[in-house]
Structure 1
Amino acid sequence: PIQQMHAWLIFALATVLLVPIALRALAPYLWMDVLYFGDLLRILVKFVSRRRKRPLFFVLDRFLEQTAAHPHKTFVAFEDESYSYTYTDKRSDKTANALRAQPGYRAGDTVALFMGNEPAFMFTWLALAKLGSPVALLNHNIRTKSLLHCFNCCKATVLIAGPELKEAVEDVLPSLKQQGVTVLLMTKHCDTPGIESFSDKVDEASDTSPPRSLRSHITFKSPAVYIYTSGTTGLPKAAVVNQNRLLTALAVLSSNGVTSSDVIYLNLPLYHTAGFIIGFIGAIETGSTIILKRKFSASQFWDDCRKHSVTVVQYIGEVMRYLCSTPKKENDKDHKVRLAIGNGVRAEIWREFLNRFGNIQVREFYASTEGNVGFINYAGKIGAIGRVNFFHQKLFPFTLIKYDTERDEPIRDAHGLCVESPKGVTGLLVSKITDIAPFVGYAQNEEQTERKRLRNVLKKGDLYFNSGDLMRIDKDNFIYFQDRVGDTFRWKGENVATNEVSDILTLSDCLREANVYGVQVPGHEGRIGMAAVTVNEGAQFDGSTIYNHVVNYLPSYARPRFIRIQVLEVTGTFKQMKVKLVEESFDPGRIQDPIYILDDKEKSYMALTAQVYSSIVSGIFRL
């Protein structure tokens, strides 16, 4: 018996010691998967309990809970001012009451917010939530036609603009006046007829809370915000983010281990999903403090983080690269930042960032404003956007399907169904549209909404969301972003729709056809815009006229940086030959056609010389 006992003890000891070793060797990420599943479960339980509350519980209610829990805590710090949760609450009450006094506004009307990053953006959004109004978040870089299009998409009756955008509003004022739109400018005084000053009215308004009855009409399906995306074609589209989706999004920061003791550095635009949902709405969930910046500055980034004891930062791929390309300093690792959340960082930049700035946990994720699937790289595997596991697949069924990039469409088998990509092979990410993973679509744009729906994917009659993104899954189940398909490319963190840019180029007098595509530039993320164009018969290419045209119609990131004059080649099916053009890029040594480069100093498109080309490739000339 004693020998038996010894044998059992040795066996038990060996099991205790060997099982973890065996698990680490055979399933190295199992523990992380289990922890992630626990996170998912917790989020789901919290979400379901909130959905059951009566009266209905929305993001605004979470903000009111946080204000009651820590009234004097700083909610947002901006430049030299800081505003507590109570101040924010009261200022949003004053804004709501000032707005109710405007003759052109009724509680519940859609309002467009055309503002840069400033606390008034947040106060105004909370005010509109209190009034039950959906809010369209307009990109403050858009002008004229694009601005009017975005404004009209969401059927807003009021436009609230930041003071620095007065000229942009004046450009479209005749059209807004014609539609009877109320235009408010966040200043104390405005002498432009048709534009009312608004800050003075907010200062004078009462700070009593507007009655809850003003938002009693809202359901989980009501639109909360419209966020604009240059999806795959056409002018920017208003993705409808409903109350239910916003409530789901509340969990993003807390699921990454962010708590109320964290200080979040928010320098991404508030009109974007990342800045608005992850930064602003995420901080409401966790009760954190936000350090708000007008815009990203690589030179001020770490000094700001040190000054404000920042613990969490947000990024897009370019942010990391800009930070890595600043001159090295002795105190690069001297900061309290422990977590960076974002997307679009390349593996080599990720490694460089960690080597230089210290042991910061990087949480890379993948999501799109209107999409119904997302991934998070909870294991911290460098280069991956997330990890695929059984639980995730059950909740959000998705697959990668084979895609023909030449014909710009999914490959189908003899039965007309899509073909799944095996592990290690790049495929198009598609995700099943279900009750848990719905696809709401775009406001006033059924045609574009339908374009994102893919039918008969794995069996007849099924319905999937087409992400437009090519992905690859490795043998360890990590998923990697490869590229966008066909008609869209990313530059400076923005999606650029090639068809929209083509349409705008051909509106100019001298161009007959334009084929727009993205080309890679050494040392830069994403792709920069290039256009192959044909000139109208009898017309001359005029660089300064085209420059003025694109500046009037397109935000800076969407303006084609290179223009190639050619007789447009089309394929047998009259598909424009993008693949070949992308390969040839903008190298004047490979291309016989004249090539021009956009020059902001000269306010024109200038001939691209071999010398300028080599300075771009070597990184001397910054784009």
Structure 2
Amino acid sequence: MVLEIDLRCSVEDVLPSLRENNITVLIFDDKCTTESIGNDEIQVASDQPLPLSLRSHVTFDSPFIYIYTSGTTGLPKAAIITHSRAHLFAFFVATCDVYSNDVIYTTLPLYHSAGSMVGICGCIYAGATVVLRRKFSVSQFWDDCRQYDVTVIQYIGEMLRYLCNAPKKSNERDHKVRLALGNGARPDVWKEFLNRFGNIQVCEFYGATEGNVGFFNNVGKIGSSGRISVFTRMFMPFHLVKYDVDREALVRDANGHCIEVAKGEPGLLIAKITPKTPFLGYAGNSVLTNQKQLRDVFCKGDLYFNSGDLMMLDHDNFIYFKDRIGDAFRWKGENVSTTEVADILSVLDFVQEVCVYGVTVPGHEGRIGMAAIQLQSGRDLDRSQLYEYLRTHLPSYAWPRFVREQKQIETTGTFKYHKVTLTKEGFNPMTIQEPLYFLDDQKRTYVPMDQQLYNSIITGQVKL
């Protein structure tokens, strides 16, 4: 394992288990004195190309990399990316008209498939130049584009929204950017982005890291993830099927088969698993792999990949992302595992039960975190402790921004939480009689939610 100096503290916590598994840890820092973290091996390493014999056994079906994803089935797991799939990611960039004289600017994390597979591998495939920035900056974004003669930018929907919400400048159209490549752009933000920053082609795509189905829109249809053709169906057989959000279950007919939705109606995206469209699953976890597979969908014995996403196909065959189901939601461009957040919150001594879910906020992409908490008998919600605990144990995008106290969290007969009901009720104090709280960064605690605060959040006066 090779790491940067910034990640040393994170690795130090798990060094004993790494040693038990005979994993060597190397670091790019000649001043590191931590036992079991080496640097000498890097200093004396040869700068000559590796011999071909070291990779003579590698084929297109060999694992290329593992990318951790929360998906829609709980805790993070390692999606298997083969060499053929890496080539497919990289080739996708070429289909979006990226050439060797382009300069690609990405501020996305490289542990995501968008940053690493599309950004880096795509850049290598096209022979282009890539400009990396450690962290996205609204104020420096267009300055960077001008400084490095950027022609292609990578985005997620929230990035475009941040850029559109920034104060206008006289030189914001003064750049060479001709193409924006990414996913998650809301139609209203997409339109505003084009109106403000010039004639930029937006190439929106859809796909899951581990999935066997994907789309891309390079014709400029605002809001769409792509257009479906006969060839799409031929090379990537998929269907949109009826899904009962309230029951969190597929709708099947009298024969037990799934029902395809009509055009204009949202349905669960599923894709047939075949030798040409495989689903490789997750490394060392057959249980989670099986959870992403659907059997006997349209006939006995067929097998499909469950994307966990609701999509809609219009009458012109453009496809649109509508919502995400399951145990994850997306906020600030990150997939948040409700299972992981709930597990962390349940450790607090005043928490008896906790249910984590995402709620929508007008003007924001995705869903923001909210937690319903049932307290231990005789205990009060320690709001300051909760805030400090979250700061220590979770990244900011995964913090539940809203907390709802409940005397008892209702469950189904199989002990599943009624997340759909909680999600629909949201965080409006006019409709929820139980105590509600909002995470206030300035006060470093959770503050009571009243109607004035609610209105300020809804109108965008309070930044999330």
User: Is TM-score (shorter-chain normalized) higher than 0.5?
Assistant: yes
* Secondary structure at the counterpart of residue 14 of structure 2: helix
Pairing of 1:180-259 with structure 2 (within 5 A): 180-197=22-39, 202-259=42-99
Q: Which residue of 1 aligns with 2:431?
A: 590
Q: Which residue of 2 aligns with 1:89?
A: none
Q: Aligned match of 2:102 in 243, 249, 262?
A: 262
Q: Which residue of 2 aligns with 1:492?
A: 332
- The Cα offsets for residues 566-598 of structure 1, whole Å up to 9 and x where unpaired, read as 021234664422222112211223211112223
Offset at 1:266? 1.4
Contact 1:405–1:486 under 8 Å retained in 2 = no
Q: Aligned match of 1:325 in 162, 165, 175?
A: 165
Contact 2:60–2:83 under 8 Å retained in 1 = yes
Q: Aligned match of 1:396 in 233, 236, 257?
A: 236
Offset at 1:160? 1.9
Question: Structure 1: which 5+ residue stretches go unaligned?
Answer: 1-158
* Secondary structure at the counterpart of residue 250 of structure 1: helix
Offset at 1:305? 0.8
Q: Matched residues in 1 for 2:326 and 2:49: separation?
A: 49
Structure 2 counterpart of 1:400, which letter?
L
Larger Rg: 1
- The RMSD of aligned alpha carbons is 1.7
Offset at 1:600? 3.9
* Secondary structure at the counterpart of residue 432 of structure 2: coil
Q: Does 1:482 align with 2:322?
A: yes
Structure 2 counterpart of 1:295, which letter?
K
Q: Matched residues in 2 for 1:257 and 1:183: separation?
A: 40
TM-score w.r.t. the length of structure 2 is 0.96
Offset at 1:179? 3.7
* Secondary structure at the counterpart of residue 66 of structure 2: strand
Offset at 1:433? 0.5
Contact 1:498–1:516 under 8 Å retained in 2 = yes
Structure 2 counterpart of 1:608, which letter?
M
Q: Matched residues in 1 for 2:23 and 2:46: separation?
A: 25
- The Cα offsets for residues 424-459 of structure 1, whole Å up to 9 and x where unpaired, read as 111000000011110000011111100000011111
* Secondary structure at the counterpart of residue 13 of structure 2: helix
Offset at 1:399? 0.5
Pairing of 1:542-581 with structure 2 (within 5 A): 542-566=382-406, 567-571=408-412, 574-581=415-422
Q: Does 1:427 align with 2:284?
A: no
**Kindly tell me: are residues 509 and 211 of structure 1, through their superposed partners in 2, closer, same or farther at Cα, counting changes over 3 Å?**
same
Q: Which residue of 1 aligns with 2:457?
A: 616
Offset at 1:197? 3.2
Q: Matched residues in 2 for 1:309 and 1:450: separation?
A: 46
**Kindly tell me: are residues 428 and 205 of structure 1, through their superposed partners in 2, closer, same or farther at Cα, counting changes over 3 Å?**
same
Q: Matched residues in 2 for 1:195 and 1:554: separation?
A: 25
Q: Which residue of 1 aligns with 2:220?
A: 380
Offset at 1:602? 4.3
Q: Matched residues in 2 for 1:531 and 1:438: separation?
A: 36
* Secondary structure at the counterpart of residue 304 of structure 1: helix
Contact 2:108–2:115 under 8 Å retained in 1 = yes
Contact 1:233–1:500 under 8 Å retained in 2 = no
Q: Matched residues in 2 for 1:560 and 1:352: separation?
A: 29
Q: Which residue of 2 aligns with 1:279?
A: 119
Identical-pair percentage = 56
- The Cα offsets for residues 222-243 of structure 1, whole Å up to 9 and x where unpaired, read as 2111111011233211101011
Offset at 1:184? 1.8
Contact 2:240–2:270 under 8 Å retained in 1 = yes
Question: Structure 2: which 5+ residue stretches go unaligned?
Answer: none
Offset at 1:259? 0.7
Q: Matched residues in 2 for 1:423 and 1:206: separation?
A: 59
More helix by share: 1
Q: Which residue of 2 aligns with 1:338?
A: 178
Q: Matched residues in 2 for 1:536 and 1:620: separation?
A: 35
* Secondary structure at the counterpart of residue 18 of structure 2: helix
Q: Does 1:534 align with 2:374?
A: yes
Structure 2 counterpart of 1:181, which letter?
I
Q: Matched residues in 2 for 1:482 and 1:565: separation?
A: 30
TM-score w.r.t. the length of structure 1 is 0.72
Contact 1:364–1:386 under 8 Å retained in 2 = yes
> How many corresponding residue pairs?
463
Q: Does 1:300 align with 2:140?
A: yes
Structure 2 counterpart of 1:607, which letter?
P
Q: Does 1:466 align with 2:276?
A: no
Structure 2 counterpart of 1:297, which letter?
S
**Kindly tell me: are residues 615 and 411 of structure 1, through their superposed partners in 2, closer, same or farther at Cα, counting changes over 3 Å?**
same
Contact 2:106–2:155 under 8 Å retained in 1 = no
Pairing of 1:143-158 with structure 2 (within 5 A): none
* Secondary structure at the counterpart of residue 530 of structure 1: strand
Q: Matched residues in 2 for 1:340 and 1:466: separation?
A: 29
- The Cα offsets for residues 102-132 of structure 1, whole Å up to 9 and x where unpaired, read as xxxxxxxxxxxxxxxxxxxxxxxxxxxxxxx
Q: Which residue of 1 aligns with 2:3?
A: 161
Q: Which residue of 2 aligns with 1:105?
A: none
Contact 1:378–1:387 under 8 Å retained in 2 = no
* Secondary structure at the counterpart of residue 251 of structure 1: helix
Name the stretch that deviates more: 360-369 or 594-603: 594-603
Q: Matched residues in 1 for 2:338 and 2:228: separation?
A: 31
Offset at 1:512? 1.5
More strand by share: 2
Contact 2:257–2:298 under 8 Å retained in 1 = yes
Q: Matched residues in 1 for 2:23 and 2:445: separation?
A: 36
